[in-house]
């Protein structure tokens, strides 16, 4: 769902300042998701809300969590994690088609991600979705640059269809976005994005609803939460300081 003007200009400015602070002082989780020979650069970082005040203010004070709660039909909304995504102008590296939830240590149907840009985003650089794909099934997550299955053993999940080979066969939706606009989507929704024809700074917030539970994985999750399995049993609600409640009905 695309919601125009979901964030105020003040909130957009806060996120923009937070992103610039984040780029100047990346966390140990930060990574470059583009090749060395790319004419641009794709940088990501995760889980910085507790050290970058601007992120925390927007997560706690904006309407994002309330919108997510209503979309999920949840009485309580927890923060799962934040995610900074910056593609510099000229970045060729696309974000390939994938689902988010297979990378995560969470089970449950009440999940919602928010993706908001602080720069105008053209239709060619925006997030695209296969409408209806949030109902499943889970599909094989692979590394973005080399397509390796490093999380699940080969053959344990169905492979993604080759969406780009015949885009007309899929109900693809996407929107050009202005600062303040946001896209809200389920963590199982198939999505992708192109390279960047101009600088594309974006911030994503992942929210969890009432039925979300801890699901320790046999593979490496992204992001990782070291030590969580020692304090939160499998199947337990995500009741941990790392996942604060940010909205209640």
The full set of domains in the chain, from first to last, is: 2-218 (2.60.120.620)
Q: What is the mean pLDDT of residues 9-26?
A: 98
Q: Report the distance separating Cα 87 and Cα 71, nearest Å.
A: 28
- 232 touches 125 (CB < 8 A): no
How many CA atoms lie less than 13 Å away from 45 in the CB half-sphere? 19
155: pLDDT strictly greater than 70: no
The Cα–Cα gap between 67 and 125 comes to 24
Say what the pLDDT of residue 158 is.
79
The tokens for 105 are 């240590």
pLDDT value of position 154: 60
Contacts of 13 (CB under 8 A, 6+ apart): none
pLDDT at 200: 96
pLDDT for 217 equals 85
Contact 205, 59 (CB under 8 A): yes
How high does pLDDT run on average in the chain?
Answer: 93
Is pLDDT at 142 greater than 70 in this prediction?
Answer: no
Q: How much is the pLDDT for 175?
A: 98
Place of tokens 């240590």: 105
Evaluate if pTM is beyond 0.75.
yes
Helices and strands per DSSP (H, E), number in the chain: 4, 14
Quick one: pLDDT band at residue 147, thresholds 50, 70, 90?
low
Question: What mean pLDDT is predicted for residues 224-247?
Answer: 96
Distance (Å, rounded) from C-alpha 125 to C-alpha 91? 10
Question: Using CA atoms, how far apart are residues 54 and 87, in angstroms rounded to an integer?
Answer: 20
Alpha helices in 3-134 (DSSP H): 9-24, 53-61, 64-72
- In this predicted structure, the answer to whether residue 146 has a pLDDT above a threshold of 70 is no
Q: What is the pLDDT of residue 161?
A: 86
Given a cut of 90, is residue 153 above it in pLDDT?
A: no
């Amino acid at each position: 769902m695309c919601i125009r003007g979901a964030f105020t200009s003040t909130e957009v400015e806060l996120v923009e300042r937070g992103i610039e602070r984040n780029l100047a002082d990346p966390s140990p989780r930060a990574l470059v998701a583009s090749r060395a020979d790319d004419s641009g650069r794709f940088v990501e970082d995760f889980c910085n809300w507790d050290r970058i005040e601007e992120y925390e203010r927007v997560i706690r004070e904006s309407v994002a969590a309330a919108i997510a709660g209503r979309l999920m039909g949840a009485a309580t909304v927890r923060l799962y994690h934040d995610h900074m995504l910056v593609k510099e102008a000229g970045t060729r590296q696309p974000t390939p088609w994938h689902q988010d939830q297979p990378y995560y240590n969470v089970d449950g149907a009440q999940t919602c991600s928010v993706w908001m840009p602080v720069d105008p985003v053209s239709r060619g650089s925006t997030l695209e979705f296969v409408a209806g794909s949030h109902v499943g099934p889970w599909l094989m997550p692979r590394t973005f640059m080399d397509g390796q299955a490093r999380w699940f053993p080969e053959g344990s999940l169905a492979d993604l269809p080759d969406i780009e080979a015949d885009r007309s066969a899929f109900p693809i939706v996407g929107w050009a976005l202005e600062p303040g606009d946001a896209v809200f989507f389920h963590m199982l929704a198939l999505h992708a994005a192109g390279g960047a024809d101009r600088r594309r700074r974006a911030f994503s917030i992942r929210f969890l609803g009432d039925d979300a539970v801890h699901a320790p994985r046999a593979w490496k999750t992204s992001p990782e939460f070291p030590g969580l399995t020692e304090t939160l049993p499998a199947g337990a609600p995500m009741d941990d300081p790392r996942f604060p409640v940010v909205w209640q009905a």
